[in-house]
Amino acid sequence: MDSGEAPAQRPVTLDITVEDVTKETPDPSEPTTTTTSQTPSRDIVLAQEDSIDLGVEFSTPQEDSSATPSESLMDKLNDQMMESVMISDSPNNSEEDDVAPIDSFLDAGEEEEANAQEPPGGKEGQSEIGQNTTEIKVSVEDKGEGDPEQRVEEDTKEQAEAQEQVTSQVSLQGDAQSPSELKSEEPALKEVKETSSKDEPVPVCTIFSQGTQPKSLVPDGFQPTLIKSPSFSIGSGGGSAEAVTPSKLTAPLVCQPSPSLSKFFTDNGQVNPASDFFDSFTVASSFISVSNPNAEMSPGPNQAPIAPTPERQLSSTSSSLSTPGGPLDSGAPTPSSVFGPAPTESKVKPQPSPPQAVPAPTQAPAPAAQPQPFNQLQAVFSGSDDPFATALSLSEVDRRHDAWLPSEETRKVLISVATQQYNPAYVETNRLTMPGLKFDNLQGDAVKDLMLRFLGEQAAMKRQVLTANSVEQSFTGLKQLIDYVLAVETYHSIIQYEPQQRVQLFSGIGRIFLQIGDIKTAERYFQDVEKACQMKGSQPSHTTCVLMNRAFVYLSQNNYGEAHASFVEVLKIDPKNPVANNNAAVCLLYLGRLKESLGQLEGLVQQDPAFYLHESVLFNLTTMYELESSRSTQKKQALLEAVACREGDSFNTQCLKLV
Amino acid sequence: MFCLTYVLCLCLGCLRFVTSQWKGGSSREGSALQFIWHPVLMVSGLLVLYGNVMRLTKPTLFTNLPVTCEDRDLPGDSFGQLMRDDPSTIKGAEILMLGEMLTLPQNFGNIFLGETFSSYISVHNDSNQVVKDILVKADLQTSSQRLNLSASNSAVGELKPECCIDDVIHHEVKEIGTHILVCAVSYTTQYGEKLYFRKFFKFQVLKPLDVKTKFYNAETDEVFLEAQIQNITTSPMFMEKVSLEPSMMYNVTELNTVASGDDGESTFGKMSYLQPMDTRQYLYCLKPKPEYAEKAGVIKGVTVIGKLDIVWKTNLGERGRLQTSQLQRMAPGYGDIRLSLEMIPDTVNLEEPFDIICKITNCSERTMDLVLEMCNTRSIHWCGVSGRQLGKLSPGAFLSLPLTLLSSVQGLQSISGLRLTDTFLKRTYEYDDIAQVCVVCPFCFL
């Protein structure tokens, strides 16, 4: 059923293997009896299902390793599956399956498939909520090893969480994983997996071996190649060309069981900062950082709230790891692989949903460094069995521990504010703490560093800049335009309030669309600009704007010649227009006129360095230097000298491309 | 330093290759090479020609980060002044982030199937002697073929010092996987030595889209095709065109607009673009053309439906186009005899006869001699004679059969109880639940 077409066609042909999965309820082709029943129903019938498979897109887990298209197709005699049309070529596409399945159409069959894809350990846990009951037991056992009371309650809570997770997980799978869902599902999956693996009285060695083999190769080990552009070094493997969901991406990166892991566990097990974990449940995450001394130790802000899982994990397994042959050895290696990807994931999902992702390795130093508060906590804990009471007392203790004592002055102010009635509180400005900037790392002068490196110390000595020390306050600029649609809407609303900027704003919207690639809409906006300009009568600035827009449209149509002409026309009106100058030079390069382009830019920079020593211009200039000849370094250094006597330390040295 | 940049080092007496592989995006690599090799070569006066390659993706618009404050704030107008002085801002609207300044691509980026690979090839005479008969050739080696991309294959007569030969090549990428751009330069030195060097630039072509299709067969001969298209690149994609080119048997209707408006608003609303990893569903309805419609009932096996043609654009109109190969579907099997309804009322009155028209098509390979039996059910009562001969029906032929029936029960009733018997083979085909009809009581409204 291979219908791969000859690649001679002009547009690239996706090679498609079509597998006809015919599964009809009545099979009339073999009417062996005298009475065949046929029941055509009137509505749209999903009588049969084709599945197109380019390469091995839709493979089921079984053939992960040796997937040939036909095999994979055999496996998915699944009525409801979507076909996937894919560019065939990469032989290991099979893994993509995890992401690919589509979803609203998948039925239970899909679920099975997804389940099957999980590594052995995860299989059982996935859809069974019941599993969690055993969980409690395990955790109770854990108690014995380390920190008794806390554990219980952690676990019960965790329990609840986990249960929820599992449920959602199951349902997700039931109706299918849509790509977007997948992301969030991923960690959950892992969680479940891990839970189950712990619960099962699995033979030690089995799990161990499972843990040892790099998880990256386990079914959802998607190649991390697609997301980052410089993936090419990965080499020939067709797999490198594969699609990867971002969340999956992280998996292979961190999954390798690190040799130090066992050590980490041993160090860690006994002195687990349960508080860390605990607070994340009982208190808002922001509170943790205040009340909980351990939280400060945790490596990243995101990690405090997500700490819990590893703890449970660690504590349950740690002792067994340190003393090989221990009774609970089973779960040990799995968490390593499961939690491996966490650091990255935690960035992606900073919300405090505890069991999701856990920075296992990074977690380590914190507990080791601060055993102290833990003991305290333990003392508090020993009395009660009620988790909530314990939670309360715990945070109470923490609060006392960290109590803030106001100075005499402050106290006065506070009292006066508190006792003041009816009036709005007024505090003298100099008594107020103003928000400020804190620099974590020393701010150097990048320009100077470069000069030291390339021009020598003597030259570098001449470089003088204002340091950042005098700056106390700063204002953040606008956020990146994250969403194009939102950006456009914002512009529209601005136009209502700022009609005099209509021309610029419409042009801005047009450029946004150009950036997305929606050239038709962009042109519509540019037409609006032209209308607006005509209405207002011709101002030189508006004419420039119109010409610029035209040039951009030409540019997007790959018509660099016309684009260049338009920019040149702008220059006739406004010879000093830096944008037009620069853009014209850029167009020249695309026209294959490197020398002219370079000449133009160099001329600009020499004539009016104040104006043209701009990041964007320099980027272009250095890029062209590199393209032009082997002497680019010297030329760049010349630029550096020019920069050194004009620009401040906020100068983006990257644009010189010296390093 | 550019991703695709490479230093084509070349010496007078001997050829020296810096044979390290180009690594996508690794700029350090490139500049390191330059740094290490060039001083050596230049000091010894050996370097003659310098070749470099740069991928020309679309330029990007420079974005500046406006920093603003209220006039009464401490910095006053100084931020505003700064922005007005900045050449990259838009005069009159300084706080627009998206400026008009174009910047050249700063890294190799990703290249996807269906996009156009453009590249600037520059060969520069770094020496102070005139070089003669320079021939620059650019070939692209894919896994299956080797293509010549050079605009001209004629040699350049001579290249003076500080002059360069420029070439911009374009190639629409049609294969996935590893591509190697091979640049070969041959020339003659001042002293009549014929020299030649080659350089390889390797890059991977990735898959931009994930396309999945699914067919739905309607009881009428229509086929619905659902196509899911997922953007698996890392940048937003504007889908300029996603159309189905039907095979000759079908007419296609695109069901991707909401019909209410004049032009029909897209079902995707204002979101004209597809974020990374986002998926869109497109729906198409395929109707067999009249001349094929007659045969549609008897079409069996795999039929070609057509192919999807997808055109997308990204940054500043960087264009990509892909086509799927012919999509095929398995025609639904209707068994030996297909019974379909050509006409049926949707609502009928209680205990009042109504007419339906059945179409009986012989889908088998043999002639049939049919007898029609009509069995009453609890609610459906057939009028007319049961067990009548319908006559012979040759393969592929059909006959339309008006039938009358009435329902004795109100509500949604299923029409069942037709039996066709082929007297040649003594086979009986049962047809139940053929259609539903709503039975109402005309007097209830009184």
Residues 603-632 of A with CB under 8 A from B: 611-612, 614-617, 619-620, 623-624, 626-632
Whether residues A511 and B61 touch (CB distance < 8 A) is answered with yes
The position carrying tokens 């608003």 is B265
Whether residues A100 and B210 touch (CB distance < 8 A) is answered with yes
CB B195 within 8 A of CB B186: yes
Percentage of chain A beyond pLDDT 90 is: 4
pLDDT at A10 over 50: no
Q: Please give the pLDDT value at position A425.
A: 55
Q: Please give the pLDDT value at position A443.
A: 53
Sign of CA dihedral B414, B415, B417, B422: negative
Question: How far is A309 from chain B, CA to nearest CA, in Å?
Answer: 29
Paired tokens of B293: 């419609």
Percentage of chain A beyond pLDDT 70 is: 29
pLDDT at B122 over 80: yes
Shared domain for B152 and B279, answered yes or no, is: no
Shared domain for B195 and B300, answered yes or no, is: no
Q: Please give the pLDDT value at position B9.
A: 37
Provide the domain limits for residue B241: 209-331
Q: A88 or A545: whose pLDDT is higher?
A: A545
Shared domain for B54 and B164, answered yes or no, is: yes
Tell me the pTM.
Answer: 0.53
Mean pLDDT of A321-328: 35
Paired tokens of A369: 């460094």
Distance, CA of A412 to CA of A415 (rounded, Å): 5
pLDDT at A29 over 90: no
Question: Which neighbouring-strand residues pair with B199?
Answer: B183
Q: How confident is residue B40, by pLDDT bands cut at 50, 70 and 90?
A: very low
Shared domain for B57 and B180, answered yes or no, is: yes
Instruction: Decide which of B147, B176, B206 is a domain's last residue.
Output: B206
Q: Please give the pLDDT value at position A166.
A: 38
Lowest-confidence region among A322-331, A503-512, A628-637, B370-379? A322-331
Contact A184/B at CB under 8 A: no
Q: A89 or A440: whose pLDDT is higher?
A: A440
The most confident of A101-105, A231-235, B150-154, by mean pLDDT: B150-154
Lowest-confidence region among A40-49, A376-385, A515-524? A40-49
Whether residues B323 and A14 touch (CB distance < 8 A) is answered with yes
Lowest-confidence region among A484-493, A537-546, B54-63, B320-329? A484-493
Establish if B379 belongs to a structural domain: yes
Q: Please give the pLDDT value at position B291.
A: 77
Q: How confident is residue B48, by pLDDT bands cut at 50, 70 and 90?
A: confident
Distance, CA of B328 to CA of A17 (rounded, Å): 9
Question: How far is B446 from chain A, CA to nearest CA, in Å?
Answer: 33
Residues of chain A with Cβ-Cβ distance to B230 below 8 Å are: 179, 243
Q: Which of A179, A595, A631 sits opposite B277 (nearest CB)?
A: A179
Mean pLDDT of B356-372: 87
Whether residues A86 and B210 touch (CB distance < 8 A) is answered with yes
Shared domain for B159 and B256, answered yes or no, is: no
CB A510 within 8 A of CB B93: no
Per DSSP, the residues of A43-108 read S-B---EEEEESTTTT--GGGSSS--HHHHHHHT--TTPPPBB--TT-TTGGGGGGT----TT--H
Residues 357-416 of A with CB under 8 A from B: none
Q: Please give the pLDDT value at position B357.
A: 92
Mean pLDDT of A2-13: 39
Shared domain for B262 and B396, answered yes or no, is: no
Distance, CA of B122 to CA of B136 (rounded, Å): 9
Contact A515/B at CB under 8 A: yes
Lowest-confidence region among A574-588, A638-652, B351-365? A638-652
Q: A305 or A226: whose pLDDT is higher?
A: A305
Q: Please give the pLDDT value at position A459.
A: 67
Distance, CA of A279 to CA of A48 (rounded, Å): 54
Residue B84 sits at φ, ψ, to 5 deg, of -65, -30
Establish if B202 belongs to a structural domain: yes
Task: For the beta carbon of residue B394, count every other beta carbon within 10 angstroms.
Answer: 9
Contact A180/B at CB under 8 A: yes
Mean pLDDT of chain A: 53
A480-506 pLDDT per residue, tens: 334 666 777 777 777 777 777 777 778
Q: Structural domain tally of chain B?
A: 3
Establish if B193 belongs to a structural domain: yes
pLDDT at A161 over 70: no
Shared domain for B198 and B251, answered yes or no, is: no
Distance, CA of B371 to CA of A454 (rounded, Å): 99
Question: How far is A632 from chain B, CA to nearest CA, in Å?
Answer: 9
Percentage of chain B beyond pLDDT 70 is: 84
Q: Please give the pLDDT value at position B427.
A: 87
The single-letter DSSP state of residue A33 is: S
Q: Please give the pLDDT value at position A306.
A: 38
Q: Please give the pLDDT value at position A36.
A: 36
Residues of chain A with Cβ-Cβ distance to B417 below 8 Å are: none
pLDDT at B139 over 60: yes
A407-456 pLDDT per residue, tens: 777 788 777 777 766 655 565 555 555 444 444 454 566 777 777 777 67
Shared domain for B372 and B430, answered yes or no, is: yes
Length of chain B, in residues: 446
pLDDT at A117 over 70: no
B247-290 pLDDT per residue, tens: 888 888 888 887 665 566 777 776 678 888 889 899 999 888 87
Q: B310 or A47: whose pLDDT is higher?
A: B310
Residues of chain B with Cβ-Cβ distance to A521 below 8 Å are: 272
Question: How far is B24 from chain A, CA to nearest CA, in Å?
Answer: 4
Lowest-confidence region among A148-152, A398-402, A646-650? A148-152
Shared domain for B266 and B243, answered yes or no, is: yes
Paired tokens of A388: 């909530």
Distance, CA of A85 to CA of A14 (rounded, Å): 7
Q: How confident is residue A569, by pLDDT bands cut at 50, 70 and 90?
A: very high
Q: Which of A20, A90, A512 sits opposite B302 (nearest CB)?
A: A20
Whether residues A35 and B430 touch (CB distance < 8 A) is answered with yes
Contact A511/B at CB under 8 A: yes
Q: How confident is residue A210, by pLDDT bands cut at 50, 70 and 90?
A: very low
Instruction: Decide which of B155, B190, B206 is a domain's last residue.
Output: B206
Whether residues A578 and B436 touch (CB distance < 8 A) is answered with no
Three-state secondary structure call for residue A156: helix
Residue of A83, A92, A557 to mutate when probing chain B, most B C-beta within 10 A: A83
pLDDT at A564 over 90: yes
- Give the nearest chain B residue to A82 (CA atoms): B214
pLDDT at A477 over 70: no
pLDDT at A59 over 80: no
Q: How confident is residue B126, by pLDDT bands cut at 50, 70 and 90?
A: confident
Closest to A341 (Cα-Cα) out of A450, A483, A246 = A246
A189-203 pLDDT per residue, tens: 444 344 343 444 433
Q: Which of A46, A480, A628 sits opposite B122 (nearest CB)?
A: A628
| The dihedral formed by the CA atoms of A416, A418, A424 and A429, expressed in degrees to the nearest 10 | 50
CATH number at residue B304: 2.60.40.1230
CB A397 within 8 A of CB A378: no
Establish if B10 belongs to a structural domain: no
Domain at A434-592, CATH from 3.30.413.10, 2.40.30.110, 1.10.150.20, 1.25.40.10: 1.25.40.10
Q: Please give the pLDDT value at position A561.
A: 92
User: Where in chain A are the domains?
Assistant: 434-592, 593-658
Q: How confident is residue A584, by pLDDT bands cut at 50, 70 and 90?
A: very high
Q: Please give the pLDDT value at position A271.
A: 40
| HSE, side-chain direction, 13 A CA sphere, residue B417 | 21
Q: A491 or B348: whose pLDDT is higher?
A: B348
Q: B190 or A180: whose pLDDT is higher?
A: B190
Q: Which contiguous run of DSSP H or E holds residue A337?
A: helix A333-339
Instruction: Decide which of B206, B225, B248 is a domain's last residue.
Output: B206
B212-236 pLDDT per residue, tens: 888 888 777 788 899 999 999 888 8
Residue A320 identity: S
Question: Which neighbouring-strand residues pair with A2?
Answer: A17
Establish if B23 belongs to a structural domain: no
- Give the nearest chain B residue to A551 (CA atoms): B100
Whether residues B68 and A477 touch (CB distance < 8 A) is answered with yes
Closest to A102 (Cα-Cα) out of B209, B324, B279 = B279
Mean pLDDT of A278-287: 36
CB A185 within 8 A of CB A155: no
Shared domain for B224 and B327, answered yes or no, is: yes
pLDDT at A282 over 70: no
Paired tokens of A231: 């993936």
- Burial class from Cβ neighbours inside 10 Å (0-12, 13-18, 19+) for residue B213 reads buried
Q: Please give the pLDDT value at position A587.
A: 93
Residues of chain A with Cβ-Cβ distance to B56 below 8 Å are: 589-590
Residues of chain A with Cβ-Cβ distance to B2 below 8 Å are: 623, 626-627
Q: Please give the pLDDT value at position A342.
A: 38
The position carrying tokens 């029941």 is A39
Shared domain for B132 and B237, answered yes or no, is: no
Establish if B38 belongs to a structural domain: no
Establish if B18 belongs to a structural domain: no
pLDDT at B114 over 60: yes
Mean pLDDT of B168-190: 89
A239-278 pLDDT per residue, tens: 333 333 333 333 333 333 333 333 333 333 344 444 444 3
Establish if B3 belongs to a structural domain: no
Paired tokens of A354: 């505890």
Residues of chain A with Cβ-Cβ distance to B322 below 8 Å are: 11-12, 14, 87
CB A247 within 8 A of CB A182: yes
Q: Please give the pLDDT value at position B264.
A: 64
Q: Which of A42, A243, A612 sits opposite B219 (nearest CB)?
A: A42
Shared domain for B260 and B318, answered yes or no, is: yes
A545-556 pLDDT per residue, tens: 888 889 999 998
Q: How confident is residue B179, by pLDDT bands cut at 50, 70 and 90?
A: very high
Residues 64-93 of A with CB under 8 A from B: 82-87, 89-90
Q: Which of A521, A626, A628 sits opposite B1 (nearest CB)?
A: A626
Chain A with chain B: Cβ pairs closer than 8 A: 436
Distance, CA of B18 to CA of B268 (rounded, Å): 51
Whether residues B219 and A630 touch (CB distance < 8 A) is answered with no
CATH number at residue B164: 2.60.40.10
Q: Rounded to a whole number, what is the largest CA-CA distance in chain B? A: 113
